[in-house]
Structure 1
Amino acid sequence: MSQVPPPPGNGQSWEDMLRSVLGDGADEVLAEMRARGIDPSTLGGAADPMMMQQALAQVQRLLSEPGTGPVNADVAHDIARQFAVAEGGDPSLTGGQARAVTDALSVAELWLDVVTDLPPAGGGSRAWSRSEWVEATLPAWNALAAPVAASVSDALATVLHDQLPDGVEDGVPLPGMPSGVLAGLGGIDPAQMMRRLGSAVFGMQVGQAAGTLSREVFGATDIGVPLLHDSQTVLLPTNVAAFAEGLDAPLDEVRLFLALRESAHARLFTHVHWLRAHLLGLVEQYAHGITIDLSALESQMQDIDLADPDALRRALSGGVFGLQNTEAQRETLLRLETVLALVEGWVDEVTATAALPHLPHAVPLREMMRRRRAAGGPAEQTFSTLVGLELRPRRSRDAAKLFAIVTREGGPEARDAVWAHPDLLPGTADLDDPSGYLGRRAALAAEHADVDAAIEEILGEE
């Protein structure tokens, strides 16, 4: 196998480095990245020489090792760890920082006990570094991105396989690939190689996204989708302190407010037993429904001579990988956006209720978090890039209003009872008209009761 090229000079980009390693064969990888809305020239700006050398060593290694699925977890892990420590590093946590976090999370649980009947998550509290956050959440990111990665890679491999000239499958490498890069491949199927390259590209993207996000998040629940398999509550002291520096509120207040949000999320995901599976199922359903326009891709490549790498490059850069949203996907997306808004709205309302008696800056902190969510911060951008979902967090303000109305009219018990069953969840019409939700819910509950009674009557007659 060829050696990794020497570190690039100042300003050399990811695209430059991919081309220096893969030659004309980089066009396929770059086309796939651009088709997913990923501009290689903006992947972290100018490439850090050491980071790029390590990343591309991983890409080269893929060409001589068995594939590891739609998203290469090893590449994702290495890239994520590197980005987690970039731009200021990832300082080790002190004992004082860890105690401050666990104390804040403990206090948050006490305050939440007063305002909701949902009990604590019970998984323990932790202070994490950015690297620890990456290690714990990366499996979830890989799983979320896998359906999209598989769709794109399979489309490339299918079309490439159909267009192969005689003899290529017997060991001739793809045209344009430098021989040194492919040394030792033997008779690898070029379609399989495309899957490996696609796996590497998505691994790099997932790794960069998770690593970058680790410098922005406050805990394990910022994105509104459960990223952990257990019920831990987590804060990242380094990020919390950085966020507090630009605010008028003291660090202790900011930490307590964020601890309330983290603990409220954890209670909801733990004790509304169907919610985690429901959310992740909607994400998976949407991602699996993504289709690649194979007819357009085949049309572009129908008369292509694969011995002409420039012709192949032009065919793969024609925008044929556009993701097609079906009507079913649009419906799934709307349901997912609504549930995510409800999660955020419930947490917003419960956190505010718990914080107001204790934190002098509770109101401005609440508004700061609302604006951060409405602006579509790094969490939303990352989710959109990896899964193809455009979320609309503005609906969380409508959801918070709905929960406030329910609380005013029925008390905290009525507010928490909204989560009793997925079929009774508020829909988009309820977010448009929160004041009418309770009446519509009562009618729907009565309808369900009539159906249940009819079923019981039928079963009783049998």
Structure 2
Amino acid sequence: MNSNGFGFSFGNNDDDNDKDRNNNDPFGFFGGGNMGAGGLGDILNQFGQMLSGMGDSMNSPEAKGPVNYDLAARIARQQIGNVAAIKKSDQEAVEESLRLAELWLDDATELPTSGHRVVAWNAEDWLSNTLPVWKRLVSPVAEQMNKAQLENLPEEAREMMGPMSQMMNSMSSMNFGMQLGNALGDLAKQTLSGSDFGLPVSPAGVSAILPVNLAEASNGLNIAPQEMLVYVCAREAARQRLFKHVPWLVERLVSSVEEYAAGLEIDTSHIQEAMGSFQMDNPDPERLQEMMNELQGMDLSPRIGSRNANAVARLETLLALVEGWVDLVVTQAMGDRIPSTEAMNEAWSRRRATGGSAEQAFAKVVGIELGAPKVTEAAELWRRVENAVGVKRRDAIWDHPDFLPTAEDVAKPAEFIDSLLGESDAESFDPIAEINALEKLLAEEAEKKDEKQDSDDEDTDNPDTEK
């Protein structure tokens, strides 16, 4: 655990680092140098190793999908180990702290309390309760990744694999399951709430805190444990207000992942170039050995991208806007009441910078590489918006996604704020009404266009009609 508090990183041990070096692609069963040097034989050897002791998982119904989630859950639980049940005193402390945080947040935002059920979780509870949402995020990426990798194999390899397609699909599903299990097991021991990283992974209607993880993450901070608990509760409560009262927000986050996955592409041109000089028919053994030695020093990991890269940009901006808004309202709610709020904000920023962030979770669990969301800049934008037009209009911006700031607005907020100041009547600002008016105007224009088209068609059918 990082001595700065709130700190964690993924894969700190040497085994994890070796594993990451050999598999830069979280979802790549053809990753690293194995594909180039060992080819199909190495893949089958890897498959045999994975089969050892995994008979139950192979026969699981989930083994037939893009990810073997049964295997993922088993591996995650092995990493978590034995955890103690939540004490009644911890549950009561979480309930009281979150209730207090909700009262204070009422002074900082127009969005009402979520009214969610408040629970205290251990790591096992977090895994069991968040796995359904992780499935929805991971499955489209894994499915498209598998499809893209198979399509990029050389024709000879595809022909060789034809009779073994079912076995290869099972191998891919298991490998994805292993990667996911390791990532979720790591997160389960270090996450602090049900919406940590700004991701709504807890079940709808639940606000959750992990008091044991919080106690461990607080080591090294000279802050009272109760203050830490109220702070994390306030962040959880603020996010849940957004997720509850901004109905499009959760779907927008998930659909951005699905859109990215739908456009996944794998560039293997560098692999084909490296393999191009191989003489597949009766190769010279000495030359073959030389080339294999050369391949060992090359990066033959598939280069992964997406035709829908703009979906990732939208996801980055949305995550920054969520966490920036949470930073602002939590600071306003607690700053005058708890003197250590500034210190806790700094600790949270360090945590975000050293691994406790959405981009780390997405990279490790979902397999999407995000740029670091500009949370500090987003918080400053929300602060300036509030100074310009007040809390009510600041929070009304969440009413529709088309009114949210863009990435350019986050970087340079002046023009966005000017557009808000340009409204004739700040008190009557109603983004939904504006959207409805726009949609009505577009419908009227479409109707006029249809009427004109009908008139033109009549003239064409009756050429003798007087003009």
Fold-level similarity (TM above 0.5): yes
Separation in 2 of the partners of 1:242 and 1:153?
38
**How far is the alpha carbon of 1:312 from its aligned partner?**
11
SS in 1 for 2:198: coil
Does residue 252 in structure 1 map to residue 248 in structure 2? no
Given that residues 194 and 207 in structure 2 are in contact (C-alpha distance below 8 angstroms), is that contact kept between their aligned partners in structure 1? yes
Question: Aligned AA for 2:241?
Answer: R
- The match for 2:69 is 73
Given that residues 84 and 134 in structure 1 are in contact (C-alpha distance below 8 angstroms), is that contact kept between their aligned partners in structure 2? no
**How far is the alpha carbon of 1:143 from its aligned partner?**
2.5
The match for 1:91 among 84, 93, 102 is 84
- The match for 2:164 is 190
**How far is the alpha carbon of 1:194 from its aligned partner?**
1.4
Ranges in structure 2 where 5+ consecutive residues have no aligned partner: 1-12, 20-26, 35-48, 424-430, 452-467
Given that residues 140 and 262 in structure 2 are in contact (C-alpha distance below 8 angstroms), is that contact kept between their aligned partners in structure 1? yes
Separation in 2 of the partners of 1:83 and 1:454?
57
**How far is the alpha carbon of 1:422 from its aligned partner?**
0.5
Given that residues 293 and 320 in structure 1 are in contact (C-alpha distance below 8 angstroms), is that contact kept between their aligned partners in structure 2? no
- In structure 2, do the counterparts of structure 1 residues 12 and 372 end up closer, same or farther at CA, with 3 Å as the change threshold? closer
- The match for 1:127 is 120
- The match for 2:99 is 106
Does residue 200 in structure 1 map to residue 174 in structure 2? yes
Given that residues 216 and 378 in structure 1 are in contact (C-alpha distance below 8 angstroms), is that contact kept between their aligned partners in structure 2? no
Higher relative CO (Cα under 8 Å, sequence separation at least 6) belongs to 2
Question: Aligned AA for 1:404?
Answer: R
Separation in 1 of the partners of 2:63 and 2:296?
22
SS in 2 for 1:115: coil
- The match for 1:385 is 364
SS in 2 for 1:70: coil
Ranges in structure 1 where 5+ consecutive residues have no aligned partner: 1-10, 18-28, 37-52, 170-188
The match for 1:140 among 133, 155, 175 is 133
Separation in 1 of the partners of 2:51 and 2:122?
22
**How far is the alpha carbon of 1:163 from its aligned partner?**
2.4
Q: How much is the aligned-residue C-alpha RMSD, in angstroms? A: 4.0
Kindly provide the CA deviation profile for residues 82-129 of structure 1, in whole angstroms up to 9, marking residues without a partner as x. 1122xxx52222111111111111111111122222122222000001
Does residue 322 in structure 1 map to residue 315 in structure 2? no
- The match for 2:461 is none
- In structure 2, do the counterparts of structure 1 residues 54 and 458 end up closer, same or farther at CA, with 3 Å as the change threshold? closer
Question: Aligned AA for 1:206?
Answer: L
Does residue 62 in structure 1 map to residue 58 in structure 2? yes
- Percent of aligned pairs sharing the same letter: 33
Separation in 2 of the partners of 1:165 and 1:94?
55
- In structure 2, do the counterparts of structure 1 residues 65 and 137 end up closer, same or farther at CA, with 3 Å as the change threshold? closer
Question: Aligned AA for 2:71?
Answer: V
**How far is the alpha carbon of 1:142 from its aligned partner?**
2.7
SS in 1 for 2:119: strand
Separation in 2 of the partners of 1:55 and 1:255?
44
Given that residues 351 and 357 in structure 2 are in contact (C-alpha distance below 8 angstroms), is that contact kept between their aligned partners in structure 1? no
**How far is the alpha carbon of 1:293 from its aligned partner?**
3.0
- In structure 2, do the counterparts of structure 1 residues 16 and 333 end up closer, same or farther at CA, with 3 Å as the change threshold? closer
- In structure 2, do the counterparts of structure 1 residues 31 and 107 end up closer, same or farther at CA, with 3 Å as the change threshold? same
Given that residues 221 and 227 in structure 1 are in contact (C-alpha distance below 8 angstroms), is that contact kept between their aligned partners in structure 2? yes
- In structure 2, do the counterparts of structure 1 residues 458 and 129 end up closer, same or farther at CA, with 3 Å as the change threshold? same
**How far is the alpha carbon of 1:15 from its aligned partner?**
12
- The match for 1:153 is 146
Does residue 408 in structure 1 map to residue 401 in structure 2? no
- The match for 2:10 is none
Separation in 1 of the partners of 2:114 and 2:404?
22
- The match for 2:417 is 438
Which structure has the larger Rg?
2
Separation in 2 of the partners of 1:221 and 1:15?
28
Show the 5 A alignment for 1:266-281: 266-281=240-255
Deviates more, 1:287-296 or 1:193-202: 287-296
- The match for 2:205 is 231
- The match for 2:24 is none
Deviates more, 1:154-163 or 1:348-357: 154-163
**How far is the alpha carbon of 1:398 from its aligned partner?**
0.6
SS in 2 for 1:248: coil
**How far is the alpha carbon of 1:366 from its aligned partner?**
1.3
- In structure 2, do the counterparts of structure 1 residues 103 and 449 end up closer, same or farther at CA, with 3 Å as the change threshold? closer
Separation in 1 of the partners of 2:154 and 2:392?
59
Given that residues 121 and 263 in structure 1 are in contact (C-alpha distance below 8 angstroms), is that contact kept between their aligned partners in structure 2? yes
- The match for 1:372 is 351
Given that residues 84 and 211 in structure 1 are in contact (C-alpha distance below 8 angstroms), is that contact kept between their aligned partners in structure 2? yes
The match for 1:421 among 394, 400, 415 is 400
**How far is the alpha carbon of 1:347 from its aligned partner?**
0.6
How many residue pairs get aligned? The number is 402
SS in 1 for 2:208: strand
